Each structure stands twice: as structure tokens, then as C-alpha cells.
Structure 1
Amino acid sequence: LAGARLTTIEGIGSGPEKLHPVQRSFVLHGAVQCGFCTPGMVITATEFLARQPHSDRSEMAGAISGNLCRCTGYSKILDAMENVAEEVVVPEHLPPPAPRACSPAAASTAAGRAVFSPGSMAELWVILSDHPEARVFAGGTDLLIWLRGRRIDPPSLINLAKIETLRGIGEDSHWLRIGAGTSHAALLDDPRITTMFSVLSQALQTLGSPHIRRMGTIGGNIVTASPAGDTLPPLQVLDAEVELCSVAGMRRMVISDFILAPGKTALRPGEILTAVFLPKPADHVFQHFEKVGLRSAMACAIASLAAVIGVSPDGRIESARLAWGSVGPTVARIPAIEAALIGETLSRKTLESVIPLVATGISPLDDVRASTAYRRLVAGNLLLRLMKFAPPSAGMQAEGLPMEKSL
């Protein structure tokens, strides 16, 4: 938080005598029930409405999707937000961010650990050389959970968030280059992602919540190597490559070779992921991502499917890349299914013919979110549900199956 401005609920309004418009609207619309979620809801609503005062109700619902209300009072909260939307401004009494008291690379301390914040790659290599045991992070959305749960206990941390060269999106005639430190929210704001790589943008919209997407980075989601990582199936079907750098040099590899097992990657000591490269897709390609979880936000995938399917003008499948998430130790590609689809029409009959191969091509586990049997069922149904989302140009009838329907 060095150099940042932090606003808590105490910084909204000026006490009971002068409530902020959002606080006043919450009271008038009965949006305060047990009160447990209220501070977070007020902070989130105030920040969102100050940025997007002309939002509709669905956008407001998306903004608070990372705030849980166990009283199920969302309707009244949304009523309160709608009523006050155009009155909200950033509070004028907030002071500007404080200037830094030290250089970016200087160490601060958190919970007894040294935390380094290099401002350049050159500073990073020096720190890594002096502290090879340090844990590197950017957004820290997973790291903070691991530290709190005592799953890891690194002696020091290195925060990459201040290295500007790790952020941003560039392109040439063949590739889109995404800096590993680019946030999920920044990717969703870039029209090149939403138009050329819609399978990735669809996955990003399901990842965490707006709060998580503003903090988390694409590089972090990859390096975490979770079987349920939302960006991993899309990146696999997009044939993504990762750029890995160390003081010794740089190398590139396809993402399927980079992720080896849950939580394990091909990173070498002293090496970090610096960028992701996406080859620009061909024309006449249908892209889709769908995820099944216990709720629509802030939920790990029970199963997910990313699909990139090339279709000829006469409706024949020319190429097929399919990747399932959360149904095995790593992302599951099933070459037999992809090969069987080539030359066929994109139809329910075609998809049903390859469903038996799904069950044999994945290796899901039982856990607290779902059973092995349920994951197998959902993985097959996700494939059939491509019918619901394929555009008319793909030659497929727009119909789908409910997730729970037996195959």
C-alpha cells in the first residue's frame, strides 16, 4: 500500500449527522439487515457509482458480486444503488496519496517478513540474487490466502507490482503480447481481447469478482497452476506461449509444457514469467468458455470447458481445440475428440457421438465442491451445451441442455 490512498468505511460520510448519499439511500431502502456486510457493500457501491454513475441494474449487480450478503438482501441493496447512482462523487475531503518515504526496491516489513518492491527488472535481478528463497508475487490474491492459512512460510517476499514493463498489451502482425503483470480487469477493458480472443474474455468475466480482477494478474493465474485456474483452458485452446526470463536470459514455451502438475510449473530457480503470447486467430472461428461453480462469482470451477472451433462456410468443422478445467491435475485436452470432429457438421448428433470419449479422457477427483461422478456428467454436458452458444454461421441449431440432465 506504499504510496496509495486507503479509504475505509470511516472515510465515507461525516458521521451520523451527515451520511454519505450511499449510506442514506441504504437506510431509506432497508438495505441494512444484520449489518455484517454493510461496510463492504457501502465502500464497493460508492467506488463503483463514482466511476460509473449511469450503470444499469445488471452492472451494479456485477459490481457487488464479490460482496456476500447472507441475509440475501441484494434486491434492496440494488434498489438503494439505483436510487442514488447519479449523486455519488469521490469524497472531496480525502487527502492525496502520501509520497514514498523510500526507494521502490527498499524492503518494508509485513508479519516479520521483508517485502521488496523493485521498480525495474534490473532491481529485481539484484534482489533475487541476494534473496533466492524469496517468494515472488504481483496481485497476491492467492498468496495472501496461503500465508493466512500457513500453507507457505517464505522468509521474504518480492512484489512485482511496481515494474511497469511487466504490464500492458502489445501486438504485431502475428502475435498479441500480454505482460504477465497485466490485471484481469485491464484485459477485459482491452477491445483486442474481447474481439479476437473472446474465449479468454468470457473466462475472465467468471474469475473471482471485480475486486479480485483488479488485483489479480494473468501471470499469477498461470504460475499458480491450479487445476481450477479459469484462464488456463482458454490459453491452452488459443495455443498460448509463455515468456520466461532470468538474469541469464529468456526462453519461450507453449503453455501446455509449462504447467506440469497442480502448483508445479517449469520455472527454474531465479526465473519469472514475464509475458504471454497469443497467436492471432484465423477467420471463421467459434470461441466459447463456460464454467460451472457453486455460485456465479467468487467460486472455483467444478468443471469448465474452453472451445475454439474452426468452421468452413458449408458448416464443416475444419479445426477443433477443446480444453476442460477442474477435471484432472492439469487442463485436459482429449485429442481423440478433436480428431473425431474434423470434417463433421457442428450438430447435436456429432457432439453426442463423442461424449463417451469425455469420460475416459478426464480424471476428476472427489472434493468438497463435487464428486467424481458429477464432474464427469458436467464435463460431457458442457460439450453438448456448445449448441446453445454457437452462432448461426457455425451451422448449429441454437439449443442447449441443462447441466443436470443425464447423458
Structure 2
Amino acid sequence: MLLAAPRFALPETVGEALSALAERPDAVVVAGGTEVMPDLLWRVRTAAGFVSLRRVGALRGTSRDGDELVVGAGTPVAALVDAEAGALAAAARSLGTPLVRTEATIGGNVVSALPYRNMLPALLALDARLELTSDTGRRTVAFDGFTTAPGVTRLGEGELLTAVRLPTRPCFSDYVKIGRRNAQYVATVSAAVVSRNGAVRLAFGNAGPVPLRSDAVDVVATALLDGRAGPDDLRAAVADAVDPPEDTVASAAYRRHALGVLATRLVVRAQVDAGLGS
């Protein structure tokens, strides 16, 4: 159902949402509103109208599709705090307060495309894929590379993010962040790890203009996992790979150091999980 009000649409299906977006190309898509409403209140963005996804039930919930976990883009972050993937669950638990987690959605976190958003390093480490739907069909793209600049994605005109797909192959994964406080504050820096079959994949938040990972860092992290490298080697590799911002919250030097500490901490946890450390 579409409301008659010209500046607001409240669709109940994905098809209705796409039609509403086509009729209102300048409208802001909103689900939980935790990204959009503060921006409007702080006047850092304006809105010519809204397409609300709150009633689109097909965008909420999780399911299995072969060896992938499919998470609807409108699924509240609160529904992911006990997710099978440890990194996803840890990132969800560290996002805001219980009230914020109840309203915030995984899709909103992804499409915000801001480097300090909690869920992004977890999705990058987990090698997530994104399901994008438009009037012409559906395409699936890697999350790696989806964000091209702060607040900018490869989402096409008239497209909606409808689902996040995560591999369900056995692995160890975790997420950690540093912030001024645990609740209601974005990550100063964050990191996520996946360890599978003796190989390590790390990803970082607020380590550059977009969620960041590095093949060179993963090589050293894998060597640290099995004892062929030391913590100093990993911290040096991370320092070379990242390009963190400098602002009133923290200096670039502090963020670079903290990212190396988080990376080492995560690999040590992976060691313990694999029975290689203590």
C-alpha cells in the first residue's frame, strides 16, 4: 500500500518500494531511521521525501540458501546479537544501546557507507555479498569494494539493498572496537577476523576512507597464527596498510597503533580457538 501523501511512501512489498522510489527519485530510503534522523536533526542532509521500508516484511529475517546465510536488509541489528558468525554477533552487540539496536538495520549500516560503522569490518572479514534489487532484476556483488568513499556506494539508481549473504563454512570469527565509551559512540577504530583452514582474513574500520583489508596483512597474520611471525611483524604490516583519519577524537598515529593492537589481539584469539596458543 502506498500512502497518498506526495512526500512519503509506506510500501509493503519490495515491488511497491521500487515503484515508490521510481516515483520519488530524490526521496530518502529509511528503515529504522537511526542513520537518517540524526542527520536531519543536525542538518547535515536534507530530504525531498521518504520511502519507508518499515512494513516490507520480505526484508526482515534470516534464512539459508545453500551454504549461505541470507540476512534481509531490513533485519534489526538486535536480531543478530546471537548470530552464528561470531564477528557479526560481536559487531551487533557493540552497536549503540538496546533501543538503537532494535531500530537500526543491517542494511542501513551498510548503505551508510561510513568507515566507522560497526557492522562493516565484520562483513568485510566474513567475505559478505550484497543482493541489490531494481525494476530490471537482481544482482549480487561482493561487499569488498561496494563502498567507494565515505557515504558513497556502488548502489545503482533505483536499486535497493535487499539482503546480505554470508558464507556458512566453519570458521572462527570475532570483532573488537575501541571507542570513547561502549554505548552510543562510534568506533574510534575497529577490526574483525576470520580464521578458516589455517588462513587468516582481517578487516578494519576507520582505518581509511572505506572499510579496509590487505592481502599483505593477511599473509603476516596467517604466519602469526602458526608461529612463523611475531606480534611486532603484524603490527608493522598493519601500520603500513592503513591510512586512518586524524580528527578531534584521535590522531592518525594513535589509530594506526590501536589497529595493530586489535589485529594482534584477534589473531591471538584465533590461535587459542585453533589450539595453537594459550
Query: Relative contact order: is structure 1 or structure 2 higher (C-alpha 8 Å, sep ≥ 6)?
Result: 2
Q: Is 1:173 aligned to 2:73, yes or no?
A: no
Which amino acid in 2 is paired with 1:115?
A: F
1:49-198 to 2 correspondence within 5 Å?
104-108=1-5, 114-189=7-82, 193=83, 195=84, 197-198=85-86
Q: Secondary structure at the match of 2:145?
A: helix
Instruction: Give the counterpart letter for 1:322 in structure 2.
Output: L
Residue in 2 that maps onto 1:62: none
Alignment pair present for 1:215 and 2:110: no
The separation in 2 between residues aligned to 1:305 and 1:221, in whole angstroms, is: 16
Shift of residue 358 of structure 1?
1.1
Distance change >3 Å, CA 107–CA 186, structure 1 → 2: farther
Q: State the match for 2:246 in structure 1.
A: 366
Offset at residue 347 of structure 1 (A) = 4.8
Q: In the aligned structure 2, how far is the partner of 1:116 from the partner of 1:393?
A: 48
Mapping 1:5-404, distance limit 5 Å: 104-108=1-5, 114-189=7-82, 193=83, 195=84, 197-282=85-170, 285-310=171-196, 318-342=198-222, 345-347=225-227, 350-386=230-266, 389-390=269-270, 392-398=272-278
Cα separation, 2, equivalents of 1:134 and 1:392: 49
Distance apart, 1:176 and its partner CA: 0.8
Displacement of 1:319: 1.1
Q: 1:353 to 1:303 in 2, by over 3 A?
A: same
**Aligned-pair distance for 1:391?**
6.2
Shift of 1:396: 4.0
Equivalents in 2 of 1:371, 1:278: separation in Å?
Answer: 34
Identity of aligned residues (%): 36
C-alpha contact 1:199 1:287 (8 A) present in aligned 2: yes
Distance across 2 between alignment mates of 1:152 and 1:336: 38
CA contact (8 A) 1:138 1:181 kept: yes
What is the rounded CA distance, in whole Å, between the counterparts of 2:136 and 2:76 in structure 1?
A: 27
**Separation in 1 of the partners of 2:247 and 2:273?**
40
Query: Residue 256 of structure 1: SS of its match in structure 2?
Result: coil
Aligned partner of 1:43 in structure 2 is none
2-structure distance, mates of 1:141, 1:133: 19
TM-score, normalised relative to structure 1: 0.65
| Cα contact 1:241–1:254 (8 A) shared by 2 | yes
Distance change >3 Å, CA 344–CA 128, structure 1 → 2: closer
Is the 8 Å Cα contact of residues 225 and 271 (structure 2) preserved in structure 1? no
Considering fraction of residues, name the structure with more strand.
2
1:139 and 1:348 map into 2 onto residues whose CA distance is 46
Q: Distance in 2 between matches of 1:226 and 1:301?
A: 11
Q: Larger Cα Rg: Structure 1 or Structure 2?
A: 1
**Cα shift at 1:344:** 5.5
**Is contact 1:387–1:396 with CA below 8 Å preserved after alignment?**
no
SS at match of 1:340: helix
* Code of the aligned partner of 1:376: R
Give CA-to-partner distance per residue, 1:90-147, whole Å, 9 cap, x none.
xxxxxxxxxxxxxx42045xxxx82211111232232222211111110110100111
The equivalent residue for 1:16 is none
What TM-score results when the alignment is normalised by the length of structure 2? Answer: 0.93
Structure 1: runs of 5 or more not aligned: 1-103, 312-317, 399-407
SS at match of 2:144: helix
In 2, are the aligned partners of 1:117 and 1:160 still within 8 Å (CA)? yes
Q: CA RMSD in A?
A: 1.9
Aligned residues: 278
